[in-house]
């Protein structure tokens, strides 16, 4: 069961790019949408407010083979999609658009681009042609299935280690 994280940061944290919406009245489920049209390759946020996470959690982002951070910003509400419109680039410490995003469109990134073995798996309902279904972490997905996606360097290294150990390198 997910426990809603109560924001301790000033909201909105990225008003020029992000609005926070609630799925239905009385629901704890929130998501980020574009507050304005966002051109491709626009940096919409960074990890400057992030703090080290003591352990992986549904709210954390993996930034190395072993470390996770808490974003401490409205970037927390970017949901997963197998066909995302932003990337969380952990090497550069930034979040940027990978295509034009329309005002009101949900802000999404591929959780597999940062997460090796997730604290909380879920069934993806993104509806894209390349939807991977059950999202548990990149550890459980063949390297080929993610070859066309933006994947952070720590996940690529972990894929290489896994594939080498299995004799697939």
pTM beyond 0.85: the answer is yes
- Half-sphere exposure for 42 (CA within 13 Å, toward CB): 16
Q: How confident is the model at residue 29 (pLDDT cuts 50, 70, 90)?
A: confident
CATH 2.170.270.10 fits 18-165, yes or no: yes
pLDDT digit string (tens) for 118-139?
999 999 999 999 999 999 999 9
pLDDT of residue 142: 96
DSSP one-letter code for 24: S
Confidence of residue 3 (pLDDT cuts 50, 70, 90): very low
User: How far is it, in rounded angstroms, from Cα 79 to Cα 30?
Assistant: 9
Residue 26 has a pLDDT of 57
Q: Give the pLDDT score at 86.
A: 99
**How confident is the model at residue 141, as a pLDDT?**
97
Half-sphere exposure of 62 (CA within 13 A, CB side): 26
Using CB atoms within 10 Å of the CB of residue 82, give its burial: 0 to 12 exposed, 13 to 18 middle, 19+ buried. Answer: buried
pLDDT tier at 18, thresholds 50, 70, 90: very high
Strand partners, 120: none
Cβ burial of 27 (10 Å; 0-12, 13-18, 19+) is exposed
């Amino acid at each position: 069961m997910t426990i809603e994280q109560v924001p301790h940061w000033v909201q909105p944290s990225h008003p020029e790019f992000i609005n926070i919406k609630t799925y239905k009245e009385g629901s704890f489920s929130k998501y980020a949408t574009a507050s304005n049209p966002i051109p491709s390759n626009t940096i919409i946020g960074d990890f400057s407010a992030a703090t080290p996470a003591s352990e992986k959690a549904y709210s954390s982002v993996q930034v190395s083979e072993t470390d996770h951070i808490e974003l401490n910003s409205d970037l927390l509400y970017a949901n997963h999609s197998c066909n995302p419109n932003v990337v969380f680039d952990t090497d550069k410490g930034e979040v940027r658009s990978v295509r034009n995003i329309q005002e009101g469109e949900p802000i999404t990134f591929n959780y597999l681009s940062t997460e090796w073995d997730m604290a909380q798996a879920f069934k993806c309902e993104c509806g894209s042609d390349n939807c991977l279904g059950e999202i548990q972490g990149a550890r459980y997905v063949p390297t080929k299935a993610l070859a066309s996606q933006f994947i952070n360097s720590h996940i690529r290294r972990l894929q290489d280690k896994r594939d080498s150990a299995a004799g697939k390198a």
